[in-house]
Amino acid sequence: MINPIAPQKLDLDAILQIARLQLSDQPAADSLQKTTAFEAIFNQAAGALSNAASVNIFVFHAEVPASASAINYRDVTIDHSKFDYNRIVEHCIKAGLAAQPGARVILVTDDQFGRNFAHPALVTVRLPLDTASPMYQRVVAMYAYVRSALFTVPTVFLDGDAFLNDRVDRVFKANFDVAVTYRHQAGLMPINEGVLFANPANKTGVGNFFRFYLGTYDCLCRHPIIRDYYGDIKRWRGGQLSLNALACPLGLPSELDQANLQGARITYYACDTFNFSMEGGQNYQKHELDSKVVLHLKGRRKVLLDAIAEYQQQRHRALEKLSLSQSIADTTVRDQSVRPTAQVPTSLADRIYSLDTTTPADYEPPAVINYAQASLTEIADHFKTDKGTIKHHYTRHYETYFSPLRQRPGVSLMEIGVACGSSLKMWSKYFVNAQVTGVDIREECKQLCKRYPNISIYIADASKKAIDGQFDIIIDDGSHVSRDIVDTFRLNWPNLKPSGIYVIEDLKCTHNPAYRSLLPFDIPEERFNRHHFTAMIDDCLKQMDWRQSDIEFIHFYRELAFIKKAAA
């Protein structure tokens, strides 16, 4: 008879379910002993510092002995001896200092690695590590760090092959104690341990989180099924498995998730932005990479080091002049075929939607479709707008409300928030002879959609000034800031025609605590308060109930609201 829980019968979901049952806040005695010893070394390093940093960048690397360098687990196979970690970690340090002004890099390593690294903003902390078990040592070191006097400023924990690419201090504007990064990729654990964020304001809560992290790790090391499945998880996989057991919600994680563990508020950031992995053989346009907070060379992607270094030197001119050492031998075999270039297949050109932090790409599909016969979703995907199946799936709801207007000549539609102009093009092809107006605060949007005579783009702030005109449809895809939504509605609702439809998109941003940190410009925190939006809706409902309003209905869907104006 086959054992029903034999390793060969288990998949990753089953392993994660087993791991979730092993949560523990009681690290083993030897783990606590190591933690105390490491904490003392961190405290000694803190005592030697004479100036404060805005952010600490915690980078862990241990030189794994040759006997432990090759990993051959069920879900990962890699030989670390094939990569030059001197060059990889050197770039990690330099990228962090260049991307985040005022940062301090804390390199946590063994007694030998990085002896030739030196910089005023670099603190090298040498711990008595068992380098044959790097993943376990890393978790012990992180727990010791958050207990130590070094943890007084916001800290990002990075793998040595994860490179900061943008200012990370903006991330810490959100209200969290610990933030993790997630991905939806078959065969991989949803939460990746290579990038973590920790705020020191609630040091006790953060300490509790990492205590659970280490305690769960120790339990999993002793669990017979986990040991049979992976072998020695102190070498590899144990840290990621423990983190997923601790922090991964049931089902697929998202930015809407929040958790609380022993007083620690946990939030979730998408790997696609905050822990992005480049792929070999894929060309990337510069603006596509510019939106990524961290670029991570997971696994065999380390061969892309030269490609990332070249791109980041162009993005951060200070990086080119930064020097940690002049003596590191350049021994890596370089793959010249995977360099990012200034050109990109047009299908990727407008995939940066929500942040509007880069110059918009005026994407044109390489082929045409029969617009008269196509559904709105098909047209949306054709133009690569995020309103279709690429991201939000809004178009299935739009079609319900807008299909009666499709054949009406001269429909007047205004969309606030242009991005790359793809949705404006979608509307111009869906409706017959529509007049489509786009409104955006960015001057460069004025140059978009020049081939479309029925599209006009105005540079204005619709939350501060009503946009002239009379419209059958108004869509607010602007800042998604709660107060801006209210101001935009009150200013522009009068210009909606009787029986017209007013749409508000991306409502999750009004209750996502991480959203403020994603914006490239400063907005007072008070304007993000969800109360502004909920009070507006409550006021609308009261007026409708007392027949004092020209609102016929308000319909809510996921991330989306439709408000119809009553007929004249």
Which residues have C-beta within 8 Å of that of residue 511, sequence separation ≥ 6? Answer: 256, 530
Mean pLDDT of 269-293: 87
pLDDT-derived band at 340, boundaries 50, 70, 90: very low
pLDDT of residue 520: 63
**What is the CATH number for 228?**
3.90.550.10
Give yes or no for residue 330 having a pLDDT over 50. Answer: no
pLDDT of residue 235: 87
**Structural domain containing residue 381:** 346-565
232 assigned to some structural domain: yes
42 assigned to some structural domain: no
331 assigned to some structural domain: no
User: How many residues are given for the chain?
Assistant: 568
If you average pLDDT over every residue of the chain, what do you get? 87
Mean pLDDT of 105-131: 94
Whether residue 398 is found in the same domain as residue 311: no
Whether residue 547 is found in the same domain as residue 497: yes
Query: Per-residue pLDDT tens for 179-196?
Result: 999 998 888 899 999 999
Task: Quote the number of domains for the chain.
Answer: 2
CA–centroid distance for 139 within its chain: 22
DSSP string, 194-244: EEEEE-GGGHHHHHHHHHHHHHHHHHHHH-HHHHHHHS-TTTTTHHHHHHH
Residue finishing a domain among 292, 324, 356: 324
Which residues have C-beta within 8 Å of that of residue 521, sequence separation ≥ 6? Answer: none
pLDDT of residue 328: 34
What percentage of the chain reaches a pLDDT higher than 90? 65
Whether residue 315 is found in the same domain as residue 410: no
Whether residue 254 is found in the same domain as residue 315: yes
Degrees, nearest 5: CA angle 53-246-256: 75
Whether residue 428 is found in the same domain as residue 554: yes
Mean pLDDT of 31-41: 96
Whether residue 369 is found in the same domain as residue 246: no
pLDDT-derived band at 283, boundaries 50, 70, 90: confident
505 assigned to some structural domain: yes
Q: How many other β-carbons are positioned within 10 Å of the β-carbon of residue 368?
A: 8
pLDDT of residue 9: 62
Mean pLDDT of 25-29: 97
- The pair of structure tokens assigned to 284 is 């990337």
**What is the CATH number for 479?**
3.40.50.150
CA–centroid distance for 288 within its chain: 13
pLDDT-derived band at 353, boundaries 50, 70, 90: very low
Give yes or no for residue 31 having a pLDDT over 90. Answer: yes
Mean pLDDT of 490-499: 97
Per the listing, tokens 């007929």 go with 567
Q: How far is the C-alpha of 146 from the C-alpha of 42, rounded, in Å?
A: 10
Give yes or no for residue 361 having a pLDDT over 90. Answer: no
Degrees, nearest 5: CA angle 303-307-313: 135
DSSP string, 37-67: HHHHHHHHHHHT--S--SEEEEEE-----GG
pLDDT of residue 312: 93
Give yes or no for residue 394 having a pLDDT over 80. Answer: yes
Whether residue 356 is found in the same domain as residue 269: no
> Which residue, among 184, 232, 231, 180, has the nearest Cα to 210 in the 3D structure?
180
